[in-house]
Structure 1
């Protein structure tokens, strides 16, 4: 089995490195060579591992374990044919060595043949005395195949062997979540906690499941138990803060977010949540202060720039909002959400050509939200470009063919362009789909909606829907 990657150099390792520096030749027994090789493999020092393998085989040419470590390096370097030949030789001498099947599985896995890898691992299970590591490998192969149920069951076997195998615990919950079985995850975690009541990881994961299901009081209790189990568990404080926010207990939420900043270096995410809580409490100066801290701590966190921009947008301080969204765009000009906000701000300021450019950038970078197309069309209308506005709405409908809002607006712009027959046809279609949204059309096109022909269509559609 592999050694701990955080291990300190042992006397054999120090002796081996001294030998390399002096060109002296020292004798090591086979197990010492294995430890030395494991040490270098776990620290990613492949060239030193290969030197240790070469010297180990010189001193112990019949050591199958060193030969298998040589295979491990060959597989790492994608020298699969060489590895297979060595494995064939080792298997003739020791057919019941589980590591042979593990390495064959590793080769298959690296070649994306996960079904065959699973077959080899199952063969290894038949002869292994300690099967926990094998079940972990098997679970990973099932994950590669998106077989989440089988993967979950394998990781459960690992946790049964070692209740403190938290990597397997995380993988189990990941599988439950991917299978959209949050209730199953909750049942499993509660059963696990019956025998491991002070496992902060399990309480934390249980709280997250309850949070997703909006069972906030139960989530709060779970995070409290996680903190009782480990009062330095930052994740539990942060998640507890999120729950308290949902419950409207903003002062308590701030206390928990603040606790995370006191235990370790503050994070931009904690500052952001604190800012939002202060804003909910009506403490605008404090909210603004923490939004500033957010973007100072992490200028690449888009949520921070959006938070401070939206703070000023809500107060209709469009000049300040423009100042901050411009700073955000200077840092990341490829962010479509930034460009959308920029478009909204320029629109509010009556800067139509700048708004047009911003919405164009937003959509080219992948923002295809329904309201983005509507806002862009309104801007083009203000620019007097009715045909361009209609074309934009047609593009939007390619992404959202069932968006009735786009259809009503397209009908309006088509009628403004005096394409009466086509416009009336689009209006009929929109009214048939969602007659209750007629007010959207009337608000956006008050003059058009009062036209006799349009009034007639509205009456006909309303009568037909009764």
Structure 2
């Protein structure tokens, strides 16, 4: 092997000497085309582009009808952003060789650089009629890039699909079409395409993976998992298959299964905050809050700029009724991000449950200022005022909420509830009936705040009336 490389190096040195003599007008006055090609390739590999350009110029002097050297000169001109000159050379090269694929590829790049996408598309579509095999595939990839630049994303998908119909095992196309299937939403077509590929190549793990991704795109999670399992049977180290199975199990609310596959992702690839966060989410859903915190913290250590991970840790404390720990965590979060409404809502809820009513009201009021058109802040504020018997203030805020949120029915329920607390039963029933007409489903929110309203016979009768009416409909 060493002898081979030594021989090759000696050959190159001799060629460089011959070229230098030619350039200086010494004894050797002629080099073969192949020799020039080797020289140009060598200069480019050494990033000596000026020397490469000089060599091309001399080559063209000796071989003025060589399309290859004209195309190479155009390529070097494009590196200098001299696109118009490059196009002229490429047109000249086309006269000498109409079937040189680099002519079409370089001309496409030059047209794109000059913002002439439509001409690039026309050129490539014409070229596709004259090429087959690998060359046709190269042109289809080029056309896909043009459509991407042109933002005609469905046609990008079409090009990749055509490549795979011609070459079902083309890895580059298989990788790319997975992304574009998701982006364009053409999952049904992708399913049919990859089934066809699998029929021909049952051990193509990328085709199985893409089939799973397409099923996942239309929420057929069980079928997606089956397809990913086949991919893993062929390549047990395909970490993205484990990742996607984990996601599919989360969607199916099978959190224990999801954790099993997410753990495999951690084994096979570099630690990622999103994987640890997903594992934390699973444990949170399983009500294992200590483990949830463990993984949220691991995620936070990898990405300490992300405040929502600390918020999730705080929320696990809230779920365990550990309100003081929740407050401490939220204090850190609010230093990082002061204008997140949900952070203030959770802090307000903690303060309220700890008996710090005035502070709770302040936090809820801040949410209302941050997002005056969102009902969440208003609901939290009114609920707080109601629970501490500030009925008049609660009523004022309800009126304001109705104006700011465009008359959301939930605030009619609150008006009914507050009027009932104030002893104004007749008005309460009017507002309750109006709310039931507009949104019967939101009644449950008010029953969570004050289930005792059902002890009022007229209220219970009115609710029953609308339940019967709903059943009748």
Q: Could you state the TM-score of these two structures normalised by the residue count of structure 1?
A: 0.71
Change (3 A) 1:84 1:438: same
Structure 1 position 195 matched with structure 2 position 200:
yes
Structure 1 position 359 matched with structure 2 position 358:
no
Q: Pick from 121, 124, 133: which aligns with 1:118?
A: 121
1:68: how far off? Answer: 1.9
Query: Larger Cα Rg: Structure 1 or Structure 2?
Result: 2
Within a 5 Å distance, the mapping from 1:257-276 to structure 2 comes to 257-276=262-281
Q: 2:78 touches 2:110 (CA, 8 Å); kept in 1?
A: no
1:228: how far off? Answer: 1.6
Change (3 A) 1:459 1:360: closer
Q: Pick from 276, 292, 297: which aligns with 2:297?
A: 292
* Partners of 2:138 and 2:162 in 1: CA distance: 10
Structure 1 position 35 matched with structure 2 position 41:
yes
Within a 5 Å distance, the mapping from 1:163-242 to structure 2 comes to 163-242=168-247
* Partners of 2:315 and 2:102 in 1: CA distance: 58
* Partners of 1:416 and 1:190 in 2: CA distance: 64
Please give the per-residue CA displacement for 1:37-62, whole angstroms capped at 9, x wherever unaligned. 7658xxxxxxx464354333344345
Q: Pick from 402, 405, 416: which aligns with 1:396?
A: 405
* Partners of 1:250 and 1:118 in 2: CA distance: 48
Q: Pick from 253, 256, 259: which aligns with 1:254?
A: 259
Residue number in structure 2 paired with 1:57: 56
1:218: how far off? Answer: 2.4
* Partners of 1:225 and 1:326 in 2: CA distance: 48
Residue number in structure 2 paired with 1:67: 73
Please give the per-residue CA displacement for 1:232-265, whole angstroms capped at 9, x wherever unaligned. 1112222223344555655444332222223333
1:462: how far off? Answer: 10
Q: 2:361 touches 2:381 (CA, 8 Å); kept in 1?
A: no
Q: 2:215 touches 2:221 (CA, 8 Å); kept in 1?
A: yes
Change (3 A) 1:227 1:444: closer
Residue number in structure 2 paired with 1:141: 146
1:406: how far off? Answer: 5.1
* Partners of 1:174 and 1:187 in 2: CA distance: 16
Please give the per-residue CA displacement for 1:385-405, whole angstroms capped at 9, x wherever unaligned. 8656644553333xxx7x533
1:161: how far off? Answer: 4.5
Residue number in structure 2 paired with 1:314: 319
Q: Which moved more, 1:305-314 or 1:27-36?
A: 27-36
Change (3 A) 1:346 1:99: farther
- SS of residue in 2 equivalent to 1:139: helix
Residue number in structure 1 paired with 2:86: 86
Structure 2 gaps, min length 5: 1-7, 18-22, 25-30
* Partners of 2:445 and 2:265 in 1: CA distance: 46
Structure 1 gaps, min length 5: 1-9, 20-24, 41-47
Change (3 A) 1:161 1:252: same
* Partners of 1:285 and 1:459 in 2: CA distance: 43
* Partners of 1:292 and 1:360 in 2: CA distance: 30
Please give the per-residue CA displacement for 1:300-346, whole angstroms capped at 9, x wherever unaligned. 34553343222112112222222223333444456555455445544
Q: 1:268 touches 1:297 (CA, 8 Å); kept in 2?
A: yes
CA RMSD, Structure 1 to Structure 2 (Å): 4.9
1:135: how far off? Answer: 0.9
* Partners of 1:111 and 1:361 in 2: CA distance: 50
- SS of residue in 1 equivalent to 2:405: helix
* Partners of 2:324 and 2:54 in 1: CA distance: 71
1:355: how far off? Answer: 1.2
Q: 1:71 touches 1:86 (CA, 8 Å); kept in 2?
A: yes
Q: Which moved more, 1:309-318 or 1:346-355?
A: 346-355
Residue number in structure 2 paired with 1:5: none
* Partners of 1:449 and 1:110 in 2: CA distance: 72
